[in-house]
Structure 1
């Protein structure tokens, strides 16, 4: 699965493991935030001595199994149904990478000559999230768990259609489940598909700004081909 680096770091409370969202780059975007048991989470931490950076990698141990549990929950089905009505891409967050630079107190500078180096404060231990936090009152303070700098995403499709409605070719890459709609026509059903991981190329298209896309397309289209000229070489 590809690690997708964010254009800018996000607060650790803005995106969570197991979240289903229409926009992983926007904290207020419509999303589903389930509570994830700790046994579904694999944790790894490391540090870089040269800059005292602390990093943590959080991934789901079995994304497919967890998603199957989620999509068979009626409340998740209702939320996915609402997300599908926006006609926007949907993503399942299967991995997070966080980064933190420990804060140090500023030392008081003396006007006297320095005779010996002061000791560097010990690096603080990384605080890893063990479960999904839904209540804003329980969220960690900014910077406590570091900023999210990269994500891993699986693509999700969701739609309402007839029971006998055929799939299109692009649906082949998804694993589908089908759910009856309470209070609706018996001929309609909710179809939920879990697809492949978002690739770097797709991520670049998603994260590039409008200006960057226009500039890239302009560079690609700016070319001169002698065969396109009716005059040929030398103007003849």
Structure 2
């Protein structure tokens, strides 16, 4: 699983393990949070005494098992059904890296949606979910630590005919199929859990790559002092 570093730290309350979200960088984005049992989480911690910083990493022990539980829940199905109609990208949060440091400042992030580019012991999850629609209850990042990196799996969902074939890009996803209440019985909701978001994809999605290229271009730009016309044509 790729560790994806955030452009800026986020408050610890803005993102959670097991969250299904359209934008992990924006708390007001469409998302739902399940309550994940502690025995379904792996934890690791380390400290850096030289700068009084401590970091911790938590991850789901079995992301696919938890997601299977979620996608068979009617609340999740309704949420994903809405997103499929809005054609929004969807991500499943499987790991978080947090840091406590007095130097961290409150993050300012875009509210625009991101546009997409193992078997272990049984996971337990408690339903129903908590819907996250605003950042009004967020604490300061320095109070309980900041989220500095995430691990994400891609999610796809769509509504279509039972006989509708998959496209080539669907091969990387593990699919489940669900009947739609009150709809034509020939229609179904298809939900797919995909591969991890990789570093190169993350840089493109968050604009980090573009900003780095802009900085490199500014650094490499120079005047041609050997020109017969001199600087500015003089």
**TM category, shorter:** 0.7 to 0.9
Q: CA deviation at 1:36?
A: 1.1
Change in CA separation of 1:215 and 1:24 when aligned onto 2, cut-off 3 Å: same
Q: CA deviation at 1:96?
A: 0.3
- The match for 1:197 is 196
- The match for 1:81 is 81
The TM-score normalised by the length of structure 2 is: 0.74
Show CA shifts across 1:65-101 (max 9, x none).
Answer: 0000000001110011112222121000000000002
- CA distance in structure 1 between the partners assigned to 2:130 and 2:81 by the alignment: 20
Change in CA separation of 1:31 and 1:135 when aligned onto 2, cut-off 3 Å: closer
Which structure has the greater CA radius of gyration?
A: 1
- CA distance in structure 1 between the partners assigned to 2:203 and 2:20 by the alignment: 20
- The match for 1:184 is 183
- The match for 1:48 is 48
Structure 2 gap segments, 5+ residues each: 104-125, 219-234
Q: Which runs of 4+ in 1 moved over 6 A?
A: none
Q: CA deviation at 1:214?
A: 8.4
Change in CA separation of 1:22 and 1:151 when aligned onto 2, cut-off 3 Å: same
Is residue 2:1 matched to residue 1:9? Answer: no
Structure 1 gap segments, 5+ residues each: 104-130, 220-236
SS in structure 2 of the partner of residue 166 of structure 1: coil
- CA distance in structure 2 between the partners assigned to 1:87 and 1:135 by the alignment: 19
The TM-score normalised by the length of structure 1 is: 0.74
